[in-house]
Structure 1
Amino acid sequence: MGSEQVGTLIVGAGIAGLSAALSLHAAGMGEGVRVVDGSRRLLPLGAGINLQPHAVRELTELGLGERLAAVSAEPRRLRLTDRHGNPVAEHPRGRDAGYRWPQLSVHRGALQELLLEAVRERLGPGAIRTGLALESYRHLDDGVAVTLRDRANSDAPEELRASVLLGADGLHSAVRRQLHPGEGAPRWNGIRMWRGVTRAPAPLDGHTMVIAGSYRPARAVVYPVGDGQVNWVAEVRVSEPGPLSDADWSRAGRLSDVLPHYEDWRIQGLDIGRLLRDAPGILEYPMVDRDPLDSWGEHRVTLLGDAAHPMLPVGSNGGSQAILDARVLTWHLAHHRDHPEEGLRAYEHARLKPVNAIAAACRDMPVDRLLDTVADRAPDGFARIEDVLTADELTGLRGAMRRTTDMDVETLNSGPSWSV
């Protein structure tokens, strides 16, 4: 078994892993960085993703702002409605909420391609290797010995010796599995999601995200993602919560399974049924997360992105937090260049508690509870939301929307850069 010495080994070529590689390069620590991924080919898969201003700032500081804007749409407001389209509340987003940076909505595949291209440009075409799955690792005095298995030749394991090992390998992380053996299956909240991207005119004014309906029993999320495409998410409660071992982000869904839940929806300016029928493909997966960890790593190993803190996709936070992980991690490694263990622990100290709080909040969103209340009290619609929710409930709803979007405008706008 051969053994090659590298600098930082990143397992996983998704948003977290590629952002980490770019951040290390920008900090002058790109030499010897290697990214490995178990997929044979890194394809532009998935559907839409929202990047909060916090993440857009970081990608802009990495020199990717113009590229990102060219493939994205900029939502300026979020509108909540019932399943009939009656308005419940509306709230500004991104720059309209006062941030210096926009919120951007982009196809995950387009973001993946943008990051891949930048890594290959800056770190060289050999910086990323595909078809290699992590099998195990062991600690050394001055690094980590990592055993990788080539999926095209499972009889030929390969060993790399790295100064630092970063697990950015997602929900089913092999690095996390060795760090926390016996953790068990992801936790499903009972909601099934169908997602797609349809070529269609942008809904409403072209700058509005819409959340319609509630989890009693179904809701839809719709927003443009640039290039004449509209992302939609159909979310239906189908089961009681419980563990689920076969959560798969790439499973194909069937129109016949999801369309009946929305066939009778009539929302002015937003034809949910047509968006579903005209989508070239549908993805189906459960809404899952994992319980938070007390630590992400040990010695010269740590986790980032979904490998560290998979969260329910209800607060537009997963991808954004992965990018922030990469930037904060790099900053601390750069400030502990001679002692990477200290840098990794400092990163965890900075990120673990606030990210775990976000993940916990995604499990119990006050906005979701109030939308359920609207559905319960006015299943056939309403003329005025004031006839459905009390004044205190409306105040609580607007406060909850603000807490999940723009409570930290001044903090971000005036905060120091994570660039090294």
Structure 2
Amino acid sequence: MRVVIAGGGIGGLATALSLHAAGFEDVVVHEAAERIRPLGVGINLLPHAVRELTELGLADRLAGAGVATAELAYFNRYGTPIWSEPRGIDAGYAWPQYSVHRGRLQMLLLEAVTERLGPRAVRTGSRVTFTGTGAPRAGTDEVPIGPDDLLVGADGIRSAVRAHLFPGEGPPPWNGLLLWRGTTYGEPFLTGRSMIMAGDGTQKFVAYPIATGERTLINWIAERPVDGAASGPADWNRPADPARIAAHFADWRFDWLDVPGIITGAEAAYEYPMVDRDPLPYWTAGNVTLLGDAAHAMYPIGSNGASQAIIDARVLAHFLARGDLAAYEATRRPVTTALQLSNRRMGPEVVMKLAHDRAPDGFDDVESVVPFAERAEIAASYKRTAGFDPVSLNERPSWSVDR
């Protein structure tokens, strides 16, 4: 079987590696961009995704590319703790959690694909298109993708493959929130490997290190609602003025973190409307299927976007090796649909909203505001939904294919 992958992002490259590991030799990635560059800012790879990349033989490369996250901590807008929990190995997982630059991860995957599948396995400046009759074609030469081939649409939130399957869907819906992202060199905070979220359910600030050493590179995300419509396409590279962003967080100075100082210290910042996609009734039609953001783009809640795409890739390769494409969708679509809907309800970050709703002027004792049992269940419930409950993940059989 020939497999054509539309999209050379994290999901598409992970799919190529997974298929190769499962025994597929004729795999080609078509990327529309003329050159794959290390764009973007930081992301988190949760232990369930790190497990999959580890089983693909990338553990050492990952360890050298990112920071092993030690804890996740939530605070209100005054910097008062609401909830914290260990992450990765410290939380009892068999695999770490990593904070890493998205572009660095993409280049790591690209390097592995080139090594294992050859230099022609990834074709840049090369699109997947559809003829007037709906037949897919790949590349500048518009080579037909035949009925015995498989086309995997891993081409992101504005997927051309998804648009072919669902032509009337329109642009991604916007929820009225605007995100600003950037990176800043600064002093370590809390454990030095902490991921923090501070906010009130409406306005939020996230920060975590993606490189440590002589200097700590802090990835940050600022979020608040704005009036009016989101302008232009969802593009991570739309520049924004750090000083203008910091003005919205002027009084967010905590004993352990200077939020406006972190924002204004960035060399560059980028803005992005918070958009997702509605869950789909199906992903697969004939010899075409979807994966990653093309299948289930979700709000950046709970650090799951890239992680879920990597898991998609491994599950697809597992079932395709058995000749059972339908089982891929049957396994993955219910999980990601539940996760998309959970993220629309704020996922585990709802604890910040609850704390604000019940104590808008702050509090001294979080137990009297959001009791421990309630906080713990919010965290545990999201892990179950997203598939990274530590016991279940550690005990789950591998998706690797015994060749």
Superposed pair shares fold, TM > 0.5 = yes
Quick check: 1:70 aligned with 2:60? no
Quick check: 1:166 aligned with 2:156? no
Equivalent pair of 1:187/1:243 in contact (CA under 8 Å):
no
Quick check: 1:7 aligned with 2:2? yes
Aligned to 1:135: 129
- For 1:344 and 1:147, locate their aligned partners in 2 and report how far apart those are by CA, in whole Å: 21
Equivalent pair of 2:242/2:266 in contact (CA under 8 Å):
no
Name the CA shift for 1:159/1:327 in 2 (closer, same or farther; >3 Å). same
Equivalent pair of 1:366/1:397 in contact (CA under 8 Å):
no
Moved more, 230-239 or 56-65: 230-239
TM-score, normalising length from structure 2? 0.92
Q: Which amino acid aligns with 2:197?
A: I
Q: Which amino acid aligns with 1:12?
A: G
Aligned to 2:297: 310
Aligned to 1:146: 136
- For 2:270 and 2:139, locate their aligned partners in 1 and report how far apart those are by CA, in whole Å: 29
Unaligned runs of 5+ in 1: 1-5, 151-156, 337-342
Aligned to 2:76: 82
- Of 7, 30, 42, the residue aligned with 1:36 is 30
Name the CA shift for 1:369/1:411 in 2 (closer, same or farther; >3 Å). closer
- For 1:175 and 1:51, locate their aligned partners in 2 and report how far apart those are by CA, in whole Å: 26
What is the CA RMSD across the aligned residues, in angstroms?
A: 2.1
What is the CA deviation profile of residues 233-284 of structure 1, one whole-angstrom value per residue up to 9, with x for unaligned ones?
00112248x8877222221222243111112211112121222112122111
Aligned to 1:212: 198
Identity %: 47
Q: Which amino acid aligns with 1:10?
A: I
- For 1:149 and 1:53, locate their aligned partners in 2 and report how far apart those are by CA, in whole Å: 35
Aligned to 2:322: 335
- For 1:386 and 1:375, locate their aligned partners in 2 and report how far apart those are by CA, in whole Å: 14
Equivalent pair of 2:355/2:370 in contact (CA under 8 Å):
no
Equivalent pair of 1:73/1:225 in contact (CA under 8 Å):
yes
Name the CA shift for 1:137/1:56 in 2 (closer, same or farther; >3 Å). farther
- For 1:418 and 1:370, locate their aligned partners in 2 and report how far apart those are by CA, in whole Å: 33
Alignment of 1:80-119 (within 5 A): 80-119=74-113
Equivalent pair of 1:75/1:103 in contact (CA under 8 Å):
yes
Q: Which amino acid aligns with 1:375?
A: H
Structure 1 position 146, deviation (Å): 2.9
Structure 1 position 365, deviation (Å): 2.9
Moved more, 35-44 or 129-138: 129-138
What is the CA deviation profile of residues 73-118 of structure 1, one whole-angstrom value per residue up to 9, with x for unaligned ones?
1112211111121111112222222211111111101101100000
Matched position secondary structure for 2:127: strand
Equivalent pair of 1:214/1:368 in contact (CA under 8 Å):
no
Equivalent pair of 2:200/2:353 in contact (CA under 8 Å):
yes
Equivalent pair of 2:238/2:272 in contact (CA under 8 Å):
yes
The structure with the largest strand share of the pair is 1
Equivalent pair of 1:208/1:223 in contact (CA under 8 Å):
yes
Name the CA shift for 1:62/1:372 in 2 (closer, same or farther; >3 Å). same
Equivalent pair of 2:75/2:81 in contact (CA under 8 Å):
yes
Structure 1 position 380, deviation (Å): 4.1
Equivalent pair of 1:185/1:245 in contact (CA under 8 Å):
no
- For 2:260 and 2:199, locate their aligned partners in 1 and report how far apart those are by CA, in whole Å: 14
Aligned to 1:372: 353
Aligned to 1:21: 16
Unaligned runs of 5+ in 2: none
What is the CA deviation profile of residues 172-199 of structure 1, one whole-angstrom value per residue up to 9, with x for unaligned ones?
0000000111011211111100011222
- Of 155, 160, 182, the residue aligned with 2:168 is 182
- For 1:194 and 1:366, locate their aligned partners in 2 and report how far apart those are by CA, in whole Å: 20
Q: Which amino acid aligns with 1:398?
A: A
- For 1:202 and 1:66, locate their aligned partners in 2 and report how far apart those are by CA, in whole Å: 24
Matched position secondary structure for 1:132: coil
Q: How many residues align?
A: 393
